[in-house]
Amino acid sequence: MDRIRITGGNELRGTIPISGAKNAALPLMIASLLTSDTLTLENVPHLADVEQLLRILGNHGVDVAVNGRRERQDESYSRTINFTCRTIVDTTAPYELVSKMRASFWVIGPLLAREGQARVSLPGGCAIGTRPVDFLLDGLQALGAEIEIDGGYVNVRAPKGGLIGGRYACPKVSVGTTHVLMMAATLANGTTVIENAASEPEVVDLANCLTAMGAKISGAGTRTITIDGVTSLSGARHRVLPDRIETGTYAMAIAMAGGDVTLQGTDEALLGGALDTLRQAGASITATESGLRIVRNGNGIQAVDITTEPFPGFPTDLQAQFMALMTRASGVSSITETIFENRFMHVQELARLGAKISLSGQTARVEGVAKLKGAPVMATDLRASVSLVIAGLAAEGETMVNRIYHLDRGFERLEEKLTRCGAIVERVSG
């Protein structure tokens, strides 16, 4: 199994290209199930999660052409991919495929909307809490679907004549629920209103793509989204937006290691208030023609308290990385997780590097230390893994990050991007 070896202590200098957003690419790819025409997506990142979803979509009958060629693998950075689903050949998404990635469950929305039925295995994915799908199913029920859970599978069926527009108020802001209901409602009869909808940039990106395909959607980016159903959708060409989590992650890596790096092709607006928090912690961040320039100012890292919240609040997907940064801050910071109940697995791994962190319920108290020291650590989930890389960049000596397959799920060419900026990071096979 591959590992990543980091020799800490180098500053980062240069440019890092930001890839297309994983969390936008996945629902956009799934949207290709809604039409028999070709959906062309540009800037699709080359990631294990994307490859896994290509396999799942292939199983439903989606023909995939990468950069115009019929192949699955491509070694270049983000790619243009054509997705064509003339007919849905199978409405079952089996356990073997769905259990590896939670977002693959979202195929339930388009399959139900287009074929009137679906059988989808209950999902897997990162072990960061129970992550149920009750909101998604209640929402589909509000559109008239009948639902039955049987042997680890969800069987859904639309009424004769198709889904019927309805109103669903989500009990808690949920990105996946918003994606699924938005997709399902595009082909329903009548109007659907999603209340307490997620307003993440990836939801807006999906709404923009669906609109280009002929859907009638208003309010994406606010807490209330209205969808007027249409009888069919057409193909479209859409560019996946830049990855805000990758942007924030590298910004924190630079704040941690020091240096001066331009993050190419990204935009501060995608991060809500998260970069302001990083400014308070001691980074200077400025917009340039090509992206964002991040410089660690000379005063060291300051402790800042954060609480994770739905967009535009501080994203849960940057919580682990920010905690890594706070391990070296002057003072004590308090980090509260409100989105997932079990997203502190990185705490004990950061402690192996010398971090001082205590947990009380959903809040971590991080007391900054003068230095971290390299050690072997274990990656536990996608974002936790990269927090260990960030800590390793500033630790004295060698940090070996084990089980890095999580990193490959969500960070395109991480070691290459860091190495180009002067970090000593290498992948060790076996």
The residues of the shown chain that bind ligand UD1, judged by CB under 6 A, are: 23, 26, 102-103, 129, 131-136, 172, 174-177, 202, 316-317, 339-340
Q: Which of 353, 382 has the CB closer to ligand UD1?
A: 382
| CA max distance for the chain | 66
Q: Which of 10, 178 has the CB closer to ligand UD1?
A: 178
**What residue type is 137 in one-letter code?**
L
What does DSSP say about strands 283-287 and 236-239: parallel, antiparallel, or unpaired?
Answer: unpaired
Cβ contacts of 90 within 8 Å, gap of 6 or more: 59, 60, 61
Rounded distance between C-alpha atoms, residue 125 and residue 129, angstroms: 10
Q: Cβ 168 to ligand UD1, closest distance in Å?
A: 11
6 pairs with which residues across the strands? 399, 425
Q: Cβ 200 to ligand UD1, closest distance in Å?
A: 6
Q: Cβ 368 to ligand UD1, closest distance in Å?
A: 26
Q: Which of 5, 131 has the CB closer to ligand UD1?
A: 131
Q: Which of 192, 399 has the CB closer to ligand UD1?
A: 192
Rounded distance between C-alpha atoms, residue 243 and residue 45, angstroms: 9
Q: Which of 23, 385 has the CB closer to ligand UD1?
A: 23
Rounded distance between C-alpha atoms, residue 302 and residue 38, angstroms: 50
Closest CB to ligand UD1 belongs to which residue? Answer: 176
Catalytic pick from 126, 170, 209, 421? Answer: 126
Q: Cβ 409 to ligand UD1, closest distance in Å?
A: 10
Rounded distance between C-alpha atoms, residue 349 and residue 266, angstroms: 30
What does DSSP say about strands 356-360 and 332-336: parallel, antiparallel, or unpaired?
Answer: unpaired
To the query of whether residue 126 is one of the catalytic residues in this protein, the response is yes
Q: Cβ 243 to ligand UD1, closest distance in Å?
A: 11
Q: Cβ 263 to ligand UD1, closest distance in Å?
A: 19
26 exposure class (CB count in 10 Å sphere: 0-12, 13-18, 19+): buried
Closest CA to 191 of 167, 161, 215, 159: 167
Q: Cβ 110 to ligand UD1, closest distance in Å?
A: 16
Closest CA to 274 of 308, 299, 303, 302: 308
198: alpha, beta or left? (left if phi > 0; alpha if psi -120 to 50): beta
CB 134 within 8 A of CB 158: no
Computed from CA positions of residues 235, 241, 246, 249, in that sequence, does the dihedral angle turn out positive or negative? negative
Phi, psi of 394 (to 5 degrees): -105, -5
CB 168 within 8 A of CB 194: yes
Q: Which of 284, 342 has the CB closer to ligand UD1?
A: 342
Q: Which of 40, 104 has the CB closer to ligand UD1?
A: 104
Q: Scanning the structure block, which residue is given the tokens 């595009």?
A: 186
Active site residues: 126
